[in-house]
Amino acid sequence: MVDMVMAPPEMQVVYDYPDSLTDTPTSYCPGCTHGIAHRLVAEVLDELGLREQTVLVSPVGCSVFIYQYFNLDACVAPHGRAPAMATGIKRMLPNHIVFTYQGDGDLVSIGAAEILHAAARGEKITTIFINNAIYGMTGGQMAPTSLPGQKTTSSPTGRDIVSTGNPIRMSEVIAQLDGAAYIVRRSLHDVASIRKAKKAILTAFKVQMAGLGFSMVELLSSCPTNWGIAPETALEWIEQNMLPYYPVGDFKVRDDVKAL
Amino acid sequence: MTVGKIIIHQDRCKGCTLCSTVCPQHVIHMDDTRLNARGYHPALFVDNGDCTGCAVCAVICPDVCITVYREAPAPKRARLAEGAAAL
């Protein structure tokens, strides 16, 4: 990826571009943490040596073009239906790793039934769930995960919980289901959290490799453009506003997962 | 102190400033004087010898623009062996 002429030969590379990502520049806005999540997944697949055996199911949302960014086999599901498509692929190709990458507008609203039933059936797939509390691609409308009082284009005076209800904590909901083996929430708001998120993604893929059941990692992400703030302020906004409502933690780690 | 170096892929950078905010050595600045091929002010590495190659910038970069290099540390084990032999 870098100009190799400039690379200092006397030094060792400590951080380089993952093989599981293509050279295509992403369509995300500056500072969007989608890119960080992509890189973490790519690094985990590189470390596990699974690039040739992995099938990615792309969602609808900002990350709909994810198949261009990952150097993997992929297909695009209709809005919210990625877990259903992943179920079919995994059942036909049980020796492959199948994962879905979904945003909150995709997974929590229109795709809520699919993700709940995939988890309830204990499908041996992995879901990377990006929660940025807003619909990004369509212009910043209120999502089921938008915080109480959060201003969006469809809630210009702030989310009114009397008429729209409270945000859904999806990880906690899915953790209730017996088929779910590993359900955790992590954040991408600082370097330490990003490193922890990578460990969680690694575990989630190991759960699928061992065939233990459904695994999901929820990642609290930023949307600087639609939140209307600068990228670094957006990371602070995650810490100050999202973390109190969506606490980071392990909501379900089954005993057989702990033994991994 | 370990000596490091980073290379920022200028045309991938979207100028989000996250790397410059997390760098503990403050050796990454935003280049306000020019635009890259995509129309953003890219991040610029100031190679003044302060970089330790900690890779924090690469961990937070959403566009995977940064490659990090670090000087190979002197083999600690060999030094210990030397010390033991001198006694």
For A24, nearest residue in chain B (alpha carbons): B12
User: What's the confidence (pLDDT) of residue A13?
Assistant: 86
Separation between Cα atoms, residue A72 and residue A153, nearest integer Å: 35
Interval B34-67: pLDDT, tens: 999 999 999 999 988 889 889 999 999 999 999 9
In a domain, A1, yes or no: no
User: What's the confidence (pLDDT) of residue A5?
Assistant: 45
User: What's the confidence (pLDDT) of residue A64?
Assistant: 92
User: What's the confidence (pLDDT) of residue A1?
Assistant: 46
Separation between Cα atoms, residue A218 and residue A175, nearest integer Å: 12
Q: Which amino acid is at A3?
A: D
Q: Is A191–B22 a contact, with Cβ atoms under 8 angstroms apart?
A: yes
In a domain, A12, yes or no: no
Which among B17, B22, B58 has the least Cβ separation from residue A15?
Answer: B58
Interval A182-193: pLDDT, tens: 999 999 999 999
Min CA distance, A71 vs chain B (Å)? 15
Residue A169 has pLDDT above 50, yes or no: yes
Q: Is B16–A31 a contact, with Cβ atoms under 8 angstroms apart?
A: yes
Contacts of A15 in chain B (CB under 8 A): 55, 58-59, 66-68
Rounded to an integer, the average pLDDT of B12-40 is 92
| Whether B30 contacts chain A with CB within 8 A | no
In a domain, A55, yes or no: yes
User: What ipTM goes with this model?
Assistant: 0.86
Residue A225 has pLDDT above 60, yes or no: yes
Check residues A250 and B79 and name the one with the higher pLDDT: A250
Residue A4 has pLDDT above 80, yes or no: no
In a domain, A225, yes or no: yes
Q: How many domains is chain A built from?
A: 1
In a domain, A178, yes or no: yes
Interval A5-56: pLDDT, tens: 466 667 788 888 999 999 999 999 999 999 999 999 999 999 999 999 999 9
What is the b/e burial string over A23-52, where b = at least 16 CB atoms within 10 angstroms of the residue's CB?
eebbebbbbbbbbbbbbbbbbbbeeeebbe
Q: Domains for chain B: give ranges and CATH numbers.
A: 3-86 (3.30.70.20)
Q: Is B62–A33 a contact, with Cβ atoms under 8 angstroms apart?
A: yes
Separation between Cα atoms, residue A76 and residue A60, nearest integer Å: 8
Q: A166 pLDDT band (50/70/90 cuts)?
A: very high
Residue A119: helix, strand or coil by DSSP? Answer: helix
**Cβ–Cβ pairs < 8 A, chains A and B:** 99
Q: Is A14–B22 a contact, with Cβ atoms under 8 angstroms apart?
A: no
User: What's the confidence (pLDDT) of residue B70?
Assistant: 87
In a domain, A27, yes or no: no
A154 close to A141: Cβ distance less than 8 angstroms: yes
A67 close to A75: Cβ distance less than 8 angstroms: yes
pTM metric for this prediction: 0.91
| Whether B37 contacts chain A with CB within 8 A | no
B38 close to B14: Cβ distance less than 8 angstroms: yes
- A95 token code pair: 């020796």
For A153, the domain range is 34-258
In a domain, A17, yes or no: no
| Whether B12 contacts chain A with CB within 8 A | yes
In a domain, A124, yes or no: yes
Separation between Cα atoms, residue A205 and residue A99, nearest integer Å: 9
Residue B72 has pLDDT above 80, yes or no: no
Contacts of A46 in chain B (CB under 8 A): none
Residue A251 has pLDDT above 60, yes or no: yes
**CATH number, domain at A173?**
3.40.50.970
